[in-house]
Structure 1
Amino acid sequence: MTPAATQPADGAPGAPGTLTRVLGSADLARAFTLATFAALVGTHLIERVAGIVTLRTVVTGLCAIALAMLVARRAEIAFLRLVPITLLALVTWALASVFWSTDATMSFGRWLAMLAVALLAVTVGHVRDTLQTVRALGDVLRVALGLSLGLEILSGILLDIPLRFLGIQGNIAALGPIQGIFGTRNMLGFVAVVAMITFAIEMRTHSVRPGTAAASLTLAAALGLLSASPTVLILAVVVGVATAALTLVRAVPPQRRTRVQWMLAAAVATASVAMYLQRSRVIEMLGATDDLRMRTNLWALAQYFAGRMPVQGWGWYGPWERSEQPFFTINQLLGQNHTTALNAYVDVQLQLGWVGLLLLIALGGIALVRSWIIASRRRSIVYAWAPLMLVTLATTSGFESVALFGLGWMLLVLCAVRAGQSRSWRDRLGGPERAGGLPTGAVSLPG
């Protein structure tokens, strides 16, 4: 046998380039994106059914695949565009906080979880375009919401007993509140709003059949209402106003667009101040006075402890480690058992100080401005997904800390990466052209 005969033919399983081609293939990118969204949307379900070790193993495996995919695609990814500077600064500051936290080992482990989810989001942002991302998220959310409805019917109607291991109370016969596979009604409400935005974009881009789009929107709206979450109505109003504003901006002639943008910004600022001044009346109208009182006490205590270490915070933990300070003392004083500050801004100030809060606001704010400008100028309606998602996250962050970990953190990072691909100061330094997160040669669908 000659030496040449021992060499595998190009394309054979043993060929050196085969693995690289697989890692760089569109099929693997799609499967990876679906698996990533499924893992993060189903975090609570996976942890309750299979345990935290299984969840960590799944995330670790996805991170290994993500790194391999980025290496395989290194020729088509510009290093300067890989990660937004604000994201890099926030993650680095969270790492630095490990050194002054009360438990460095625990804090470092939580930072690794933060980094892992960010890595998955960055990878999805570079291997799939915006429409492909929306389609993958829509597919996962349809299954998750359908499963939630099925389990609620099983618990509240067929068996008439709560499924305590999933946190399902079985209240669907009384029209809520329900939790689905997400653990709490507020988390279900948040996911339902994310799903409605995603399904609406799918419908407008004709990515799915009209019947599927209509059924998906109906399912998301129904579960959002059945969650009986006070934040759902607020989110729906804010997202509705943002959608109307973006539609208006897209409709005006380009020469008048800047003036209209500034007018809308002034109107939003005025409305935000008015809402803040009348917040007690708004909360009373929503029937959430008791909930507001509980949150106010929690926020006051969290801000008191944040003032003890105002610049650097107490160290990064993400979800509270209730045996560590200051979380233990806060829960003891309140006589409650909170795992977050129920406010992302208060939470990040408590854990990372004013530096961390400013970095988080910069990350979300810059991404929102960039993605809003992109959506107002590009023809396809698919570009509206990122700014509307960021508006949802910014609003939810006033009532929950979901933007700091899990699905919320991934969506924040993903939108920031997507926005930075089209509008960035790094464009002046050269690099491959990427239009709005679409790979070179991708076709923008009509809106």
Structure 2
Amino acid sequence: MAVHTKHPIAAPPAAPPREKTRHLMLRAWCAFVLLQAFAGVAWVNAFGDVVAGTIAVVSGMVSAALWISIRPPVNWRRLPWFPLGYVAWALTSIFWSSWQSTTAFTWLLLAITTLQGLMVASMLGWKELIRAMAAALKWVIALSLLFELAVSVFIDGPLLPGFVIPTTKMDPIVYWSRNNLFDGGRIQGIFGNANLLASVALTAMIVFALIFAARTTRRVPLALWFTVATYAFVRADSATAYLSAAAVAVVLATALLMRTARRPGSRTKYYAAFGAVGGLGIAVVWVWRDAIFAVLGRSSTLTGRETIWQAVLERAIEHPVIGWGFATPWLSSDPAFDGWIIDHGQSVMQAHNMWIDVFLQLGAVGLFIMAGIYLSVIWRAWFFAVDRPRWDLVANRPFSPLTLLPLLVMSMLLVQGLAESGPLLLWGWLSVVMLGFKIKQAPLIGIGPAEQTLAMERGDGISSVTDGNGVAGNQRT
């Protein structure tokens, strides 16, 4: 009769540990939080301001309760101080704000979004976080295309927010859907805005492509989802998104090139070449901007954005140091913004430039903090992407495609911020906070306090520390 030896060389065979139900529910909640952020103004278009605001507040309270009850391991000395400083400065601006009620309401939304970003980053490991992003993006892209299909099939005409069918012809800018799915025009999805749909679709393309390259799940469904996201991206036909995609491609190529360096000094020539190509590209875009935007079907003024920028700057320089008061987004119900800048008969709700918007609201101090946010996050994201994973004497571990995510998303937001204020709210701001906090807490995939959460939820005493490509080492939790 066979018996186990008293001196085993390996552990007895056992079934793999299973995730606890509470952790599966937590991951589902994090995916919903990301869905809520990515969907953005879709909640307002569908249910109105009151319901959308209630959903945001209640979800923030639930996330806060979860964080307090679960108490995930967090290195509190490595918080994202620049984003928290921006939130604090925005709150302080209520004392001199020219629109105090708007400042109070929009700051509450900013605080909730910041809390959600911190919560997701602290609750999930890198792989889980990216999986949650993928799940949320699948829902947003699928709902957008199904929404456009339903409008074209069942209504066969434009649709206003609140599921209202217009009885007279109106300016297309007010339509939730323009019924363009089958006529070749720009589609807007559940956002009611083609630029927002294109930005989210580009983010989905980045996430799906990186997961596909990492081989962490079935690749055929991912390829199909990438195709669907690409279709939504092309049909949205956003010039800003096209420029963002070009920037992402350049940054991706540069990061992959940097990964080939074998010696510390080998990257110098790559940095010099990257700087030269980047500077040349900016010069070409500026000199031939009329021709480039004509190819994209846009004017060199970026569809009237220069007029908006001029009006905002004229007002901003009246309070250049501390600004007029936080207001992201501008609320058209506030007399200070209602009728101030009119576009297609509608009050404009943003400056269409992240930096000009910050300058108007929070002055030079706000600009300094925002510059610190992007410099610090992109700096860490760059080395997170191009440095080989190493936590011991082993120096030849393979790179993980997943480490490219923060760098590519931040590059996209940086370019988008030149023509939109989207990076200051909803999924744009949540991504900045979430990815910046996650890199500081876990600068290597599989290592860091938050990275051990999954193993603890499984009840596993030994957690497998991996670099994303199957190379593992054991670390006690």
The answer to whether residue 92 in structure 2 is matched with residue 96 in structure 1 is yes
How many residue pairs get aligned? The number is 417
Q: Which moved more, 1:276-285 or 1:343-352?
A: 276-285
Mapping for residues 46-445 of structure 1, pairs under 5 Å: 46-74=43-71, 76-81=73-78, 83-157=79-153, 159-165=155-161, 167-260=176-269, 262-263=271-272, 264-289=274-299, 292=302, 294-324=304-334, 327-328=337-338, 330-331=340-341, 336-377=346-387, 378=389, 379-422=399-442, 434-435=447-448, 438-439=451-452, 441=463, 442-445=465-468
1:103, distance to aligned residue in structure 2 (A) = 2.6
Q: What is the percent sequence identity of the aligned residues?
A: 25
1:320, distance to aligned residue in structure 2 (A) = 0.9
Cα RMSD over matched residues?
2.7
Cα separation, 1, equivalents of 2:300 and 2:178:
21
Cα separation, 1, equivalents of 2:433 and 2:291:
34
Q: Which moved more, 1:411-420 or 1:364-373?
A: 411-420
Retained in 2: the 8 A contact 1:419–1:436?
no
Classify 1:273/1:88 alpha carbon distance in 2 versus 1 (closer, same or farther; 3 Å): farther
Cα separation, 1, equivalents of 2:450 and 2:414:
22
Q: Which moved more, 1:60-69 or 1:176-185?
A: 60-69
1:299, distance to aligned residue in structure 2 (A) = 0.6
SS in 2 for 1:208: coil
- The amino acid across from 2:103 in the alignment is S
Post-superposition CA distance 1:376-411 (Å, at most 9, x none): 013211110010000010011111111111111111
Query: Which consecutive residues of structure 2, in runs of 5 or more, have no partner in the other structure?
Result: 1-19, 164-175, 390-398, 454-462, 471-477
Classify 1:363/1:273 alpha carbon distance in 2 versus 1 (closer, same or farther; 3 Å): farther
Retained in 2: the 8 A contact 1:169–1:178?
yes
SS in 2 for 1:288: coil
Cα separation, 2, equivalents of 1:423 and 1:139:
24
Query: Which consecutive residues of structure 1, in runs of 5 or more, have no partner in the other structure?
Result: 1-21, 425-432
SS in 1 for 2:98: coil
Q: Which moved more, 1:296-305 or 1:263-272?
A: 263-272
Classify 1:210/1:439 alpha carbon distance in 2 versus 1 (closer, same or farther; 3 Å): same
Cα separation, 2, equivalents of 1:29 and 1:230:
37
1:78, distance to aligned residue in structure 2 (A) = 1.8
1:159, distance to aligned residue in structure 2 (A) = 3.6
Cα separation, 2, equivalents of 1:54 and 1:330:
27
1:354, distance to aligned residue in structure 2 (A) = 1.5
Classify 1:371/1:437 alpha carbon distance in 2 versus 1 (closer, same or farther; 3 Å): farther
Tell which has more relative contact order, 1 or 2 (C-alpha 8 A, sep 6+): 2
1:190, distance to aligned residue in structure 2 (A) = 0.5
1:72, distance to aligned residue in structure 2 (A) = 3.6
Classify 1:75/1:390 alpha carbon distance in 2 versus 1 (closer, same or farther; 3 Å): closer
TM-score by length of structure 1 reads 0.86
1:147, distance to aligned residue in structure 2 (A) = 1.6
- The amino acid across from 2:466 in the alignment is V
